[in-house]
Amino acid sequence: MKKHVKKIEYTVRGALGLCALVTLITTVGIIAVLSSETIPFFKEVPITDFLFGTRWAPLLEPKSFGVLPLVIGTGMIMVGSAFIALPVGITTAVYLSEFSSQRMRSIIKPVLEVLAGIPTIVYGYFALTFITPLLKTILPQTEIFNATSGAIVVGIMVLPMVASLCDDAFQSVPKALKEGGYALGATSYEVIGQVIVPYSASRILAAFILALSRAIGETMAVTLAAGANARFAFDPLQSVQTMTAYIVQVSLGDTPQGGIEYQTCFAVGSLLFLITLAMNVAGQSILFKYRRGK
Partner 1 sequence: MEGFSGRKRKEKIFKIACFGLTFLSVIILIVLLYHIGQAGSKYLSFKFLDSWPSRFPHKAGIKAGIWGTLWLISLTALISVPIGIFSALFLEEYKIPGKLGKFVEINVANLAGVPSIVYGLLGLTIFVRFLGLDRSLLSGALTLSLLILPVIIVSSREAIKSVPDAIRFGAYALGASRYQVVFWHVLPIALPGILTGVILALSRAIGETAPLIIVGALTYISYTPESIMDEFTVLPLQIYNWASRPQEEFHYLAAGGIIVLLGVMLSMNFIAVVIRQKASKKVKI
Partner 2 sequence: MSNDSVMTCRNLNIFYGEKQAVFDVDLDILRNKVTAIIGPSGCGKSTLLRSLNRMNDFVPTFSMNGNINFEGNNVLEQDPMVVRTRIGMVFQKPNPFPKTIYNNIIWGPKIHGHKVDYDQLVEESLRSAALWDEVKDRLHDSALDLSGGQQQRLCIARTVAMKPEVILMDEPCSALDPRSTIRIEDLINDLRSDYSIVIVTHNMQQAARVSDYTAFFYEGELIEYGVTDGIFTNPKEKKTEDYITGRFG
Residues 100-139 that bind partner 1 (CB under 8 A): 100, 107-108, 110-115, 117-122, 124-126, 128-130
Q: Applying CB under 8 A, what is the total number of residues that bind partner 1? A: 90
Among 47-55, 58-66, 175-183, 266-274, the segment contacting partner 1 (CB under 8 A): 266-274
Q: Please, what is the minimum distance in Å from the beta carbon of residue 192 to partner 2?
A: 12
The listed partner (partner 2, partner 1, none) that binds 199, CB under 5 to 8 Å by sort, is: partner 2
The listed partner (partner 1, partner 2, none) that binds 184, CB under 5 to 8 Å by sort, is: partner 2
Q: Please, what is the minimum distance in Å from the beta carbon of residue 62 to partner 1?
A: 27
Q: Which of 70, 149, 248, 255 binds partner 1 (CB under 8 A)?
A: 248
Contact 230, 56 (CB under 8 A): yes
β strands within the chain, DSSP E: 56-57, 64-65
The listed partner (partner 2, partner 1, none) that binds 272, CB under 5 to 8 Å by sort, is: partner 1
Nearer to partner 2, 30 or 186 (CB): 186
CB atoms within 10 A of CB 272: 22
Q: Please, what is the minimum distance in Å from the beta carbon of residue 175 to partner 1?
A: 20
What are the backbone dihedrals phi and psi of residue 42, each rounded to the nearest 5 degrees, phi first?
-75, -10
Distance (Å, rounded) from C-alpha 235 to C-alpha 256? 33
Give contact residues for partner 2 (rule: CB under 8 A). 101-102, 174, 176-177, 179-187, 190, 194-195, 198-199
Cis previous bond, 160, omega within 30: no
Distant-in-sequence, close-in-space partners of 121: CB < 8 Å, separation ≥ 6: 220, 221, 224
Q: For residue 59, what are the CA distances in angstroms to 49, 69, 230, 280?
A: 16, 15, 12, 32
